[in-house]
Structure 1
């Protein structure tokens, strides 16, 4: 069982258009409504590949009802913390070349009591967890130190914790000693206060986070693959190129694949990039299943060209 705290969930309408023109009239080729947000995609990817997934979400209003119904329809166990404010709604406009234009609502502000209930609900439901993932931006009303406090509570109870967040909340959580931190290039630069030019810089920055308390660091870079830095080594991996359709949820798919494959070493990193590549090849918000993932090939190398530029 994988347990996920999706701290800032949403209900997204994903609309595919032939071309996006500012001020123009657009006819959608397809339109779907899906449960979204960092952590929600992770649970959906795991459940879609036969792994038990339980998600803890703050969910208020009719859109909260919709979020819960959509998740349960995908065989995900939902622990709902009702909030006074409604779940946010987003719109994603996807063009044929995979360019996504997003209009995101600002997430609700949680009261102090709602934050406490949310954290307590998570801790209460982790007894059978292989991993607990703290995912998403911290909602308004949650102090940056709160994630760190949750990490400390869980690790003190012997639970393996992964953190996939951003900003000061991520930095504070790292100091609490999670087993794994997952982040992208911008988040890694922000967390280490460094501009990263090459993959060697990335590996050094990951070690910097490990010196602060993180057990392992998984960093994703889109089409350029991902880097894993842990006790047993440092690897870089990338999947065979795909025709991109949408990048929505690709980061969550990366982490889901890594956890599903054992969350350790080169093999797990190879699986992670395959899951992410499969997600990119699918319409916006669709998480890959076994057939999608098996179609992908990967390259994993501990001696890759670390002087290669991260961007461009």
Structure 2
């Protein structure tokens, strides 16, 4: 079983306007409310790939109920920890004629010690053969070491984990041997406080993640494609041609495609191919990509071995 953790989920209120004028009344052309959160995006892609997953996280209040109702439209299996405070709302404003996107993200609910422990207790059900994917920001009052606490529980239970976060929170979990980590090239540069002057620089720094314990490193590079660094080899996926409509969720989709395929095949190259297809397909879509779109994009991606 694959479990996804979205510690700080959201309702994403996406507004389309022709132009955005700050300090004035603006009227939308369209609007939509979507269930947001990086782990939720992963579960939605896994669902498109006809792979089972269970979405975990914290939800609360009236917005939490609304969030769960939105998820029911996507037929996702969930097992959320209920909290007292409200699930957050993120507002995303797309000004089409200005070709600009503005985001206003909520901070999320405060989580009590009891609510946190209740969540950790749920993880006692994972075991050998399971993979737990942790992704996204943390709610208020949750220590920055929370992902490390989760990783320790998962490893003690004999399961694998994937972490999609940045900074020290990522580095702290590397000695516990995550199945895959996925920074983009800018996040990787910030992680080691360096500037990249070549693709080889990116590869060399991705190898540092493996040296510190990661089993695989995926590095997305937007229009320059993506890299997969394994213990023995480096592979590159091209960036397929297409109009980028919305990059939100593309990285989550890549992780879903990689992990879901790896669970079935144990083949990192095929997993990379599927992951790259899922990531690009979502970038070319208004929302998380659907299976037909993923299959179409897959045909336009090739994987080459660099070393």
Q: Distance in 2 between matches of 1:35 and 1:84?
A: 19
Q: CA RMSD in A?
A: 2.1
How has the CA–CA distance of structure 1 residues 63 and 197 changed in structure 2, closer, same or farther, with 3 Å as cutoff?
A: farther
Task: Answer yes or no: is the 8 Å Cα contact 1:17–1:29 preserved in 2.
Answer: yes
Distance 1:185 1:112 in 2: 36
Query: Structure 1 residues 281 and 163, CA, compared in 2 at 3 Å: closer, same or farther?
Result: same
Q: Provide the C-alpha distance between the structure 1 equivalents of 2:230 and 2:140, rounded to a whole number of angstroms.
A: 32
Q: 1:30 to 1:253 in 2, by over 3 A?
A: same
Distance 1:138 1:197, change over 3 A: farther
Distance in 2 between residues matched to 1:172 and 1:87, nearest whole Å: 27
Secondary structure at the aligned position of 2:173 is classed as helix
Question: How many Å separate the matches in 2 of 1:130 and 1:281?
Answer: 31
- In 2, the alpha carbon distance for the partners of 1:270 and 1:21 equals 42
Alignment size in residue pairs: 301
Offset, 1:104? 0.7
- 1:228 matches 2:228: yes
CA drift of 1:88 comes to: 0.8
Matches within 5 A, 1:37-76: 37-76=37-76
Give 1:129 shift: 6.0
Task: Determine if contact 2:124/2:153 at 8 Å carries over to the other structure.
Answer: no
Q: Which 10-residue stretch deviates more, 17-26 or 176-185?
A: 17-26
Distance 1:136 1:269 in 2: 21
CA contact (8 A) 2:226 2:239 kept: no
The verdict on how the C-alpha distance between 1:232 and 1:75 changes in structure 2, with shifts beyond 3 A counting, is farther
In structure 1, the residue matched to 2:107 is 106
CA distance, structure 2, for counterparts of residue 125 and residue 77 of structure 1: 15
Alignment pair present for 1:168 and 2:171? no
Distance 1:129 1:101, change over 3 A: farther
Q: Shift of the alpha carbon at 1:25?
A: 4.4
Distance in 1, matches of 2:21 and 2:281, equals 29
Worse-matched range after superposition: 18-27 or 32-41: 18-27
Paired residues of 2:133 and 2:161 also in contact (CA < 8 A): yes
Query: 1: CA distance between counterparts of 2:280 and 2:125?
Result: 31
Q: In the superposition, relative to structure 1, how do residues 125 and 223 fare at CA in structure 2: closer, same or farther (>3 Å)?
A: farther
- How high is the TM-score relative to the length of structure 2? 0.90
What SS class does the counterpart of residue 38 from structure 2 fall into? coil
